Chain A
Amino acid sequence: MSSVKIELRKDQVDKIRQIAKTFKNDPGELINVLHKCQGEFGYLPAEVQEVVADELKMSVAKVYGVVTFYSFFSMIPTGRYPISICTGTACYVRGAEKVLAEFKKQLNIEVGTSSPDGKFSLSCLRCVGACGLAPVVLVGDKTFGRVSPDGVKDILKEFEEM
Chain B
Amino acid sequence: MSKYKMHLLVCGGTGCRASASDAIVENLKKELNNQGLDESVQVIMTGCFGFCEKGPIVKVVPDNTFYTEVKPSDAKDLVEEHIIKGRKVERLLYKDPVKKVTVSDEEGMSFYKKQLRIALRNCGFINPENIEEYIARDGYMAIGQILSENTPEEVIEIIKASGLRGRGGAGFPTGLKWQLTRQTKSDQKYVVCNADEGDPGAFMDRSILEGDPHSVLEAMAICGYSIGADTGLIYIRAEYPLAISRLLTAIGQAREFGLLGKNILGSGFDFDIELKYGAGAFVCGEETALIHSMEGKRGEPSLKPPFPSVEGYLKKPTNVNNVETLANIPAIILKGHKWFSSIGTEKSKGTKVFALAGKINNVGLIEVPMGTTLREVIYEIGGGIKDGKKFKAVQTGGPSGGCLTEAHLDVPIDYENLLAAGSMMGSGGMIIMDEDNCMVSIAKYFLDFSVEESCGKCSPCRIGNKRLYELLDRITQGKAEFDDLARLKNLSEVIKDTSLCGLGQSSPNPVLSTLQYFREEYEAHIIDHKCPAGECKALMVYSILEEHCVGCTACARACPVGAISGERKLVHSIDQSICIKCGACFDKCKFDAVLVQ
- Using a CB–CB cutoff of 8 Å, the interface residues on chain A facing chain B are 26-32, 34-35, 65-66, 69-73, 87-90, 92-94, 125-134, 136, 143, 145
Q: Is the CB of A93 within 8 A of B359?
A: yes
Q: Is the CB of B295 within 8 A of A32?
A: no
A71 and B298 CA atoms in complex are apart in Å by 12
Which of B200, B296, B429, B437 makes the CB contact (< 8 A) with A28?
A: B296
Contact residues of B between 42 and 84, Cβ < 8 Å to A: 52-53, 55
- A134/B363 contact (C-beta < 8 A), A34-B279, A145-B19 known: yes
- A89/B14 contact (C-beta < 8 A), A31-B279, A72-B239, A133-B19 known: no
- A129/B279 contact (C-beta < 8 A), A69-B298, A134-B357 known: no
Q: Is the CB of A31 within 8 A of B293?
A: yes
Assess whether B445 is interfacial by the CB under 8 Å rule.
yes
Q: Is the CB of B364 within 8 A of A66?
A: no
**Nearest 9 A/B pairs, CB to CB:** A132-B52, A129-B203, A88-B200, A90-B357, A70-B279, A143-B18, A30-B296, A72-B280, A89-B201
The minimal Cβ–Cβ distance linking B61 to chain A, given in whole angstroms, is 23
- A126/B429 contact (C-beta < 8 A), A31-B279, A69-B298, A72-B238 known: no
List 12 interface pairs A-B (beta carbons < 8 Å), by A numbering: A30-B296, A35-B279, A88-B201, A127-B200, A128-B14, A130-B203, A131-B15, A131-B355, A131-B363, A133-B15, A133-B19, A134-B358
Q: Is the CB of B298 within 8 A of A145?
A: no
Q: Is the CB of B298 within 8 A of A66?
A: yes
The minimal Cβ–Cβ distance linking A108 to chain B, given in whole angstroms, is 13
Most A CB within 10 A of own CB, among B355, B364, B442: B355
Most A CB within 10 A of own CB, among B53, B199, B238: B238
- A90/B358 contact (C-beta < 8 A), A29-B296, A66-B296, A132-B55 known: yes
- When distances are taken between beta carbons in the complex, the residues of chain A under 8 Å from B15 are 129-133
Assess whether B216 is interfacial by the CB under 8 Å rule.
no
The minimal Cβ–Cβ distance linking A132 to chain B, given in whole angstroms, is 3
Q: Is the CB of B52 within 8 A of A131?
A: yes
Q: Is the CB of B297 within 8 A of A70?
A: no
Assess whether B425 is interfacial by the CB under 8 Å rule.
no
The minimal Cβ–Cβ distance linking B123 to chain A, given in whole angstroms, is 13
Which of A27, A73, A134, A145 makes the CB contact (< 8 A) with B296?
A: A27
- When distances are taken between beta carbons in the complex, the residues of chain B under 8 Å from A134 are 357-358, 363
Encoded as 1 (CB less than 8 Å from any A CB) or 0, chain B from 187 to 203 comes to 00000000001111111
Contact residues of B between 402 and 422, Cβ < 8 Å to A: none
Q: Is the CB of A127 within 8 A of B202?
A: yes
Which of A73, A126, A131 makes the CB contact (< 8 A) with B357?
A: A131
- A28/B295 contact (C-beta < 8 A), A34-B279, A93-B433, A131-B203 known: yes
- When distances are taken between beta carbons in the complex, the residues of chain A under 8 Å from B199 are 127
- When distances are taken between beta carbons in the complex, the residues of chain B under 8 Å from A35 are 238, 277, 279
Q: Is the CB of A130 within 8 A of B52?
A: yes
- When distances are taken between beta carbons in the complex, the residues of chain B under 8 Å from A93 are 358-359, 431-433, 437, 442
Which of B198, B206, B432, B437 makes the CB contact (< 8 A) with A126?
A: B198
- When distances are taken between beta carbons in the complex, the residues of chain B under 8 Å from A126 are 198, 200, 282, 449
Assess whether B175 is interfacial by the CB under 8 Å rule.
no
Encoded as 1 (CB less than 8 Å from any A CB) or 0, chain B from 236 to 280 comes to 001110000000000000000000000000000000000011111
Encoded as 1 (CB less than 8 Å from any A CB) or 0, chain B from 1 to 27 comes to 000000000000011011100000000
Q: Is the CB of A132 within 8 A of B455?
A: no
A129 and B276 CA atoms in complex are apart in Å by 20
Q: Is the CB of B203 within 8 A of A92?
A: no
- When distances are taken between beta carbons in the complex, the residues of chain A under 8 Å from B296 are 26-32, 66
- When distances are taken between beta carbons in the complex, the residues of chain B under 8 Å from A34 are 279
| Chain A, Cβ-Cβ closest to B449 | A126
Q: Is the CB of A73 within 8 A of B203?
A: no
Q: Is the CB of A90 within 8 A of B201?
A: yes
Q: Is the CB of B358 within 8 A of A94?
A: yes
A66 and B240 CA atoms in complex are apart in Å by 20
A130 and B200 CA atoms in complex are apart in Å by 11
The minimal Cβ–Cβ distance linking A65 to chain B, given in whole angstroms, is 6
Known: A126-B282, A127-B201. 4 other contacts (CB 8 A): A30-B297, A90-B200, A127-B200, A132-B15
